[in-house]
Amino acid sequence: PVHTPLLEVQDLSVAYGKIEALTGVSLTLGAGEIVTVIGPNGAGKSTLLGALMGVLPATRGRIRLEGREMDPAAADVGDRVSRGVGLVPETRALFASMNVEDNLRLGAFRFRQEPASRHARSLDEVYELFPRLKERRGQMAAALSGGERQMLALGRALMGRPRLLMLDEPSLGLAPLIVRDIFRIIVQLRRQGVSILLVEQNARAALEVADRAYVLELGRVVMQGPAAQLAGDPRIVEAYLGLQ
Ligand code: ATP
């Protein structure tokens, strides 16, 4: 049977003024897959997610979601959101002076027409995934620990019921135990039917949970393959796994 990937990116380029940050990047993500993009600082990983989310316009290339074209040149976040694309940005981008629950509710903005009972069910699902957030639901986001903030950012994205969830460095700045929790949740989300594009500098953790991986260096895909295969590749071991 002909199988249309959930996400197809072809020859995507993005520039900041005269500086090209992404050059001819192609990748695919099948429904139910966890795909990771690893690479060093400044490789263009956040830029890639920005272009996919419609935060940054692309200068060239195609983006298709379930075979339907999205206009890469038009930075249109609303279009992506309405089509089930969600992003947890590296900065987490929480509303510091709003409480946990209100931050979560904002994630369901696109469903604002739906009845309160539906919102309550979504909240329950997020609280089931992150009991810690339930305990702290009345706290200001500013008062949360780093790990709790990451959980809140993830929870808020889930309130938008994404089919494609993009995570930008979810492990950044977190203690190893918390990183393990976050990655466990990522695997659990996939079991629930969410497809995941995971950008990470923590190559070891990312390659452990991913099905396939792309290595991005200086804005270009330099390697790709099954995650297990890349994790055993001497070049990857030396460049990305050796010191972790
Ligand atoms: P990091 O893990 O450090 O976030 P990254 O792989 O996500 O790195 P990007 O943030 O996408 O990399 O940056 C890719 C390149 O684009 C870098 O050279 C960066 O300096 C440049 N860049 C990123 N944002 C801007 C911007 N707003 N204006 C100009 N250049 C930018």
Task: Say how many Å lie between the CA of residue 219 and the centre of ligand 1.
Answer: 9
- State pTM to two decimals: 0.91
* Nearest atom of ligand 1 to the alpha carbon of 47: 11
Task: Say how many Å lie between the CA of residue 197 and the centre of ligand 1.
Answer: 18
Ligand 1 pocket at CB < 6 A:
16, 19, 21, 39, 41-47, 201
Contacts of 205 (CB under 8 A, 6+ apart): 171, 179, 183
* Nearest atom of ligand 1 to the alpha carbon of 49: 11
Structure confidence by residue, pLDDT tens digits, 115-150: 788 888 889 999 998 999 999 999 998 888 888 888
Task: Say how many Å lie between the CA of residue 33 and the centre of ligand 1.
Answer: 26
Instruction: Report yes or no: 190 and 212 within 8 Å, Cβ to Cβ.
Output: no
Which of the 8 DSSP states describes residue 63? E
CA distances from 171 to 3, 176, 200 (A): 32, 8, 8
Structure confidence by residue, pLDDT tens digits, 61-97: 999 999 999 988 888 888 888 889 999 888 778 877 8
Contacts of 229 (CB under 8 A, 6+ apart): none
Contacts of 198 (CB under 8 A, 6+ apart): 34, 35, 36, 37, 166, 167, 170, 186, 206, 209, 210
Task: Say how many Å lie between the CA of residue 193 and the centre of ligand 1.
Answer: 31
What residue owns the CA closest to ligand 1's atom 25?
A: 16
What residue owns the CA closest to ligand 1's atom 31?
A: 16
What residue owns the CA closest to ligand 1's atom 20?
A: 42
Task: Say how many Å lie between the CA of residue 127 and the centre of ligand 1.
Answer: 34
pLDDT at 176: 86
* Nearest atom of ligand 1 to the alpha carbon of 168: 7
Task: Say how many Å lie between the CA of residue 38 and the centre of ligand 1.
Answer: 14
Continuous segment of H or E residues that includes residue 236: helix 234-236
pLDDT at 1: 54
User: Could you say which residues of the chain have pLDDT below 50?
Assistant: 244
pLDDT at 163: 92
pLDDT at 238: 85
What residue owns the CA closest to ligand 1's atom 30?
A: 16
Which of 12, 16, 23 should be mutated for ligand 1, with most atoms under 8 A from CB? 16
